[in-house]
Structure 1
């Protein structure tokens, strides 16, 4: 019999013990899981058939046996956790039986010897796919725990695209774990809560599950900031008594006025949640009293027409605060949320937040995609919420087809999970929905990826603006494009939408690949020329066989590896021309021997000019490989270059191509007389010689002189020499030299 394993809240095995932990029940007549199972059966009996109920019982017996030797940190049998998850789905969402069974079995693949194939044979393919979608990835070759978590989340999102019940089971699992964090160590509790706050609460919100999001946020705050949570909770309790009078007076006045207008609406007050109060205090820098003094009322009407009529009544009764009205009925949020929001000055001069919506809208607002199961027979909007959720997931995954890895996927997901929207218009009058803080470039990518890739500016309400301009509600935006324009790496600093970030990264990744292939080909051809050969004269069969021996499918893959510094061109050349496949080739020459590599200075993605010494055409240079990134070019006299050579880091001899063109940055250290007009005189002399100043920094100053570092762009070493000679003729220039490293 296998030894029992102690399981933490996330299902990970911590250590093994031959006996249940202290506090665990070992008596077969005192099994808490049996009581939970019966409670679950009672919960689903009202909407399930006898055959389905028996299937749930079978799933319980199977999971109970699979988890028999496992216990939670609290001491209870581990099977209690999946049963609690199933109870959340049954009681709060009326989940169908396949989803309930998947919840009961959701940890058996990860924490026991049970396989997906066994589940498929016993409970059907549908249940097996659901369980597999929820299961974390194991035995990954990822570099960090963060990448393991990102891979698991990525797998779950992909499974969601096939079946939304995957995320419902996962959210219920996370909710029960958050409710029972107590026995976990403080640092792990906070890390777990932080992940909930960053990913799962926003994910619940993105799917319209308002109640689940609120509870997850509250529990996360309680774990991350326990002292702050307790202080705010006490403050709310103390202030609650004073609020009753204001809320009571407000509700009574609203009820009377709605009755006079012959509107049959339900009125209720809304209690602000602790995390919402805390977040508003942090974001707006407000004291607790200023946040909590805002009162909230909800009005539930019969249909949208009554909502707008009720809004008119509210604005007739109390004066509205300008700029605080939002119409989410005409323009619903991405998660399907619909409501009218307004803030009015209520009795005693206090602001009152009012939400007005229909009863069906309220059900969708509270439950989101869960309403598909909870109210399926009562309203059709639940199917619309489910369709919107699928549309968002599929659209998001479409944008991520070419992303670089799981961490990039996670980054884009976080960006996409905070959809505080704005609405802008195209010149044709179409509405484009964007997250708050979106720029003109985000708008261009939202219209079409090709428009974003070739965008050079934008017109907002007819006025030309730069791409980084942040958009506001109601603006008319037009993207200005040019055929020659291409994405720039700096764009990633100010775009906020996942689609824009993914498209820019994909373009830059492909560009880097193309440049690496070109550089790798030049390096390999240079080595082959020393053997009086070239790629063109080598037989195709010989190249193919050597590629297979080296583990590459295509020649371009090998050339890319050479260009990025993952393979040495000299070694590859010997392998391609050796008589035997897979032969180990000894390097009888140093890495810097042979024909030097010609540098043009324009291969910006794979050939980088070192910032420490800033080489320019005409300088003696040497190149060092940074595996996976490419070649870094240093001046031969650079101190860093000498250190790299001592450490025998892979390097190559390099020279500037005679056709090298462009503007290259260089630094000059200048000692100047400190008097009025000195900087203007120096700047004028530099401009006179056709150079631009990129940066000017004062590093040392006294009463008579200042030592400054000037960064300017030059064409080559000759151009720099002319500038230095011109500066030396200026009387205020006491000393001038080029920085080395």
Structure 2
């Protein structure tokens, strides 16, 4: 039996990431086990997850505040793969009733009230929330006065109840239908499935090449719901591709994921073709041009290519951004070691040297690389500068106030070993982000933590505080990069480079 469920904001983010993504480890084991079971039910199409669009916006805001825009976009992509936002209900009526409930119960937020009302309007089988007692206390006293509400409200740790509910026997034409291929193969689909769902259940390639469908010998629209015992024939095209409109009516997660994956591949190929034709023919310069444009648009390079291939961003806009900010194409006169003037192109970015780890406030010197290569920024006291010719050195000035650093912390393997380290960093008004955690065969835990540092003093204090913890065996800086403003490079470059010392 297929069950239709809704889930609260915290549960949805736990599904897309994992419990504890924001440092909240209350009931971690139960939440982790519950979300794993729920994810398994969704993957096996035993559960259809419905997500009101207002929750999508709130989820993006919550994750962006904690982890940044890139992580928030990835969370939304995963949720759109898992769930269905096309509910087919009267949202004006839903918002009106949710506003009334919100006015009566201030313990609930408006989007939580929308979740409850939408679930009732769609007659969902269950609602999975983080705090079922709070939701039940807010809804059940008023369930007869404003709408009929008789939906189980389950906690994440009560997923076993949902599994037992799904395992109840049902008749053949209940929430499942059984359709047939022309060769007699039986295909089981959830109620409301379309010929496109049927095609993807048979094979992904058949779904991608689907152009039309015949049901019981007659051609039907691709969005028409199939019935029990229908014989379905899929008409395939040689060069057909998935259609974005299919996402509005398919009901199985298998079809939705395959369509989204096919569209991403198609848009990626098309986007790279456009970029290669219009932007620089030099691969390295083209990569820097795309990186600059993606920073201006606050997205990753891959997202930029996908939007370019999907015609969401015109190539003319990228060309304009590149022309405005492409500082590596500006030519300047540089005095060579022999005293002759030579023309050098400005570098294509900035690298912080890993030998000295310069931080905002440190005196710094830039070292020019080859043509179209980035400037490598060193501390002015770095020993490696003694081996660099004076003609390759230039003056640079900090324009950013903070740097992103990544620490490698090696600790003894103990239960809940990372939390004390994160709490220690939070005590010093820092926002740590746990990037990875690996358990080595020798019984040690190696974890990568990223955070923002504004000075050398802050870095030394952070390292000292972590090293002083008894369970920490080693801590060191592994990565360092400036926090860039979308419109301002992290450094300013003095137009006149330093001349070589006279002999």
TM-score normalised by structure 1 residue count: 0.26
Structure 1 or 2, whichever has the larger Rg, is 1
TM-score normalised by structure 2 residue count: 0.37
**Greater RCO, 1 or 2 (C-alpha within 8 Å, sep 6+):** 2
Would you tell me which structure has more helix in proportion to its own residues? 1
